[in-house]
Amino acid sequence: MGEATKRRLERLPAAEYVRCDVSRAEEVRGLGERLKADGVLLTGIVHAAGVAGDGFLGSKRREVYDAVLAPKVDGSVALLELASEHPDPFVVLFSSITAVTGGFGQGDYSAANAFMDSLAAGARAEGARVLSVDWPTWTGAGMAVDHDVDADDAPFTPVSIQGGLAWLAYFLRHPVDGAVPADFNLPVLEREWDTLPFTVSAEVATAARNAAKEPSETGEAGGDAVLAGVSDPTPTQLRIASIYGSVLGLTEIDAYAGFQELGGNSLMTANLLSKVEQAYPETVDVADLFSYSTVVDLAAYIDEQRGADAGGTDDREGDRSLREALAEIGDTELISVFDDIEDSGERW
Ligand SMILES: NC(=O)c1ccc[n+]([C@@H]2O[C@H](COP(=O)([O-])OP(=O)(O)OC[C@H]3O[C@@H](n4cnc5c(N)ncnc54)[C@H](OP(=O)(O)O)[C@@H]3O)[C@@H](O)[C@H]2O)c1
């Protein structure tokens, strides 16, 4: 851990950094013993340890395969055992979309993630609060950035750090099995139609065909909503209206109606954030979507932010380090992801 991270942790109330190889049951048990000795009750575990897979199974050495499986297979089992010794903590397993889609050179990684999905579903069936999220590619930091994964060339849209946190907060309150927090990347879906390892509904198939035929002028696939209430809309207003339309499934958007007023809920807000983030990277966060909830207000805010940034460097997300990305989020927001899960009224 770097000095900056260390200092930041020191400022977090009651935070402590402990190294533990989760694939070693005895190390996790040792951690459990320490928690007991310190009188600490676990309220939740986020299991985000993982090793990226790389290389075809036919030419892969056994130990390389095992190294990819270890944190996810052995680690998940060990952490669930640890959770079972505490009164009803939540456990979130960071799985991957590859558990559903597979991927070239991803045999070990896909298997490891599929194991976590099954483990979570089984544990939930027995009443434990365990959730496995099939994440798409994360932009901004992490193993996909480290391995130069082209996030725009996948059949699912990538998730930003902000968007991922919003989804995580949502899933903690509304747990589901087999959730993929992403939209279809319709043009890619259509292009790779013949080799897709999964089926889609007729509605999605039609949307993919249409997206391939008529790419939206706004760049927002499936979002051709008419903006009502503004006689001479700006490009940003049109693009935001298009995004609202695609998220809300509406063909007309009142420029002065708030997102919630138009029928948006918290799941849609997470979706909205991810799309706005894609269109205008690093411009808005979740709180902004509530503060500027109409098309007019949000577009004005985005223009203002982009104006303020104009002249800066073209700082692509992928070029930033994890520390920089997390520093931007802020501790309060990170902590709030896990706040009031117990009070949410939802039952796992
Ligand atoms: N990034 C993405 O696009 C993406 C997409 C889908 C799913 N995911 C999943 O999300 C999780 C986090 O991904 P990431 O991008 O943050 O990965 P990352 O940047 O590669 O970080 C993985 C972390 O896991 C730790 N780790 C590996 N084996 C461990 C073990 N046996 N015990 C304890 N810690 C261990 C590593 O610690 P050391 O550095 O000390 O080795 C590292 O800090 C992973 O499970 C990944 O599969 C990521």
Nearest to 274 by CA among 243, 234, 306, 319: 243
Distance 139 CA to ligand 1 centre (A): 14
pLDDT for 341: 61
Distance 122 CA to ligand 1 centre (A): 23
Q: Is the fold of 3-185+323-336 the same as that of 216-310?
A: no
Checking DSSP bridges between strand 90-96 and strand 226-228, what pairing results, if any?
unpaired
Percentage helix, strand, coil for the chain under 3-state DSSP, each rounded to 5: 50, 10, 40
Ligand 1 atom closest to 158 (CA): 3
pLDDT for 218: 44
Distance 86 CA to ligand 1 centre (A): 25
Q: List all residues whose CB is within 6 A of at least one atom of ligand 1.
A: 21-23, 48-51, 70-71, 75, 94, 96, 135, 137-138, 142-144
Superfamily (CATH) of domain 3-185+323-336: NAD(P)-binding Rossmann-like Domain (3.40.50.720)
Residues sharing a CB contact under 8 Å with residue 260, sequence separation 6 or more, in sequence order: 293
Distance 48 CA to ligand 1 centre (A): 6
Nearest to 216 by CA among 239, 236, 249, 237: 239
d(CA 18, CA 321): 22
d(CA 337, CA 169): 5
d(CA 139, CA 164): 10
Ligand 1 atom closest to 70 (CA): 31
Ranges under pLDDT 70 in the chain? 212-224, 308-337, 339-348
pLDDT for 331: 65
Place of tokens 């992928």: 318
pLDDT for 345: 52
Residues sharing a CB contact under 8 Å with residue 99, sequence separation 6 or more, in sequence order: 110, 113, 114, 116, 117, 134
Architecture of domain 216-310 in this structure: Orthogonal Bundle (1.10)
- The beta strands (E) that lie in the chain are given as 44-47, 90-96, 129-135, 226-228, 252-254
Which of 143, 160, 168 to mutate to test ligand 1, by most ligand atoms within 8 A of the CB atom? 143
The pTM score is 0.71
Ligand 1 atom closest to 151 (CA): 3
41 in Cβ contact with 82 (< 8 Å): no
pLDDT-above-90 percentage for the chain: 41
Q: Answer positive or negative: Cα dihedral of 130, 131, 132, 137.
A: negative
Tell the residue nearest (CA) to atom 30 of ligand 1. 21
pLDDT for 44: 94
pLDDT for 210: 79
| Domain residue limits, the chain | 3-185+323-336, 216-310
pLDDT for 217: 44
Tell the residue nearest (CA) to atom 33 of ligand 1. 21
Distance 240 CA to ligand 1 centre (A): 34
